Amino acid sequence: MTPDILSVRQQFTSLHDGSYVYLDSAATTQKPQCVIDRLAHYYQYQNANVHRGSHHLTAEATQVFEQARAEVSCFIGAASEQEVIWTRGATESLNLIAQSWGRANLTTGDEILVSETEHHANIVPWQLVAAQTGAKVVKIPMTAQGEFGWDAYTQLLNAKTKLVAVAQMTNVTGTRLPLADIIPLAHQAGALVVVDGAQGIVHDTVNLVEMDADFYVFSGHKLYAPTGIGVLYGKKHLLNAMPPWQGGGKMVEKVSFEQTTFTGLPGKFEAGTPNIAGAITLAEAMRWYQSFLPEDREQHLHRLQQLAYQGLSQYQDVRVIGYQPNSSIISFVVDGVHHQDVATLLDQQGIVVRAGHHCAHPCMDAFGIQGTIRLSFGLYNTAEDVKKFIAALDKSLSFF
């Protein structure tokens, strides 16, 4: 590893006392000390509003705030910094697209294709805008193994399809969707594509010019940054044509009771005081993350996943759901035992996992289950963490 993985763990003070093993990084990651320090530095020495006022603190805060936008633009391979919109997270980004682009462009009879494997954040906003416009949300069924239903997708695409909404990587099984095939086929049909990158951006190098997604969203808190900061990427011509979603300060040029005119990108979609500290620390988290070679990051995570899979495979009553090698996620169930009971016993032994439907009811229904126990690894996890998890699971299963 470059840097050594042991030195990585030392950067996470939340894990120093060893009182728990954190295996819930797909929900949110722990934060390295450099990110925490950058957050504190802003509030201690640079705290001011941006794009307002004439004093030196505003000028400095605006400079680092917009530099963060430039770094994010580079990180995701956007064509322009103006295509990067700050939001509270992937969920708000998806709602912004639905309420701005969707309400302006969808009408009765239009169809929105949504993968069955999606997180609720990439389903519910489309249902809401469909109810508002008369459009229809159409499910793309997944395969029995939890893979993207390619055959169904090709059959469902038609002249009525206006939008395709898919994840880069699913949060239940870690399945990577074939975006290189999904996107051009949608474009051939005249449809736009929205990609939920909340899970995928942590693992795959993203170049949005090459990917050619029309919209791409992600949250900072899954990428070792704080909560409350996210990104909406949209192709510039689409964002320019979309009406504002929220109104207030910063996003206007001139306000009068007769007429209000709006500023250009990206400010048009950033009403009010933004999460300045969040944007700055997201850039810090990205710099930290890029200090590791991508192949080293993934090799480490895949090794941990393989160790966990081997450990789970020794139990006859344990079923791994939709296993995807070379991921950082494993979801499993214990036959005859509720997933929450298993997670509770693990928690009592200091093993932190996620149990439930993972905000993916349709996916759970397709698998014919109510929920799973999910392990998800971060760069700070080690083989010793996996060993402790298997020991705790063994003790928990003996209880049942």
What whole-number distance in Å separates Cα of residue 183 and Cα of residue 192? 8
Q: Is the Cβ–Cβ distance between 65 and 58 less than 8 Å? A: no
- In the chain, count H helices and then E strands: 15, 15
Look at the chain and count its residues.
400
Q: Tell me the chain's radius of gyration from C-alpha atoms.
A: 22
Q: Write out the DSSP string of 165-210.
A: EEESB-TTT-PBP-HHHHHHHHHHTT-EEEEE-TTGGGTS---HHH
State both tokens at 327.
Answer: 């991921």
Note if 34 is an active site residue: no
CA dist 150 and 142 (Å) reads 8
Catalytic site residue from 34, 74, 359, 363? 359
Candidates 322, 330, 285, 332; CA nearest to 303 is 330
Q: What angle do the packed helices 383-399 and 339-348 form, to 10 degrees? A: 120
Q: Please tell me the distance from the alpha carbon of residue 18 to that of residue 2, in angstroms, as a whole number.
A: 23
User: Three-class SS of residue 36?
Assistant: helix
* Helix (H/G/I), strand (E/B), else coil: 64: helix
- Enumerate the β-bridge partners of residue 351: 21
CB distance 216 to 197 below 8 Å: yes
- Tokens (6 digits) for 166: 């898919």
Name residue, tokens 């736009």: 192
Residue type, 80: S
CA–CA separation, 326 and 323 (whole Å): 10
Query: Which element (helix H / strand E) includes 258?
Result: none
What is 102-145 written as a DSSP string?
IHHH--TT-EEEEETT--GGGTHHHHHHHHHHT-EEEEEPPPTT
In sequence order, what are the residues at sequence separation of 6 or more whose Cβ sits closer than 8 angstroms to the Cβ of residue 56? Answer: none
Active site residues: 359
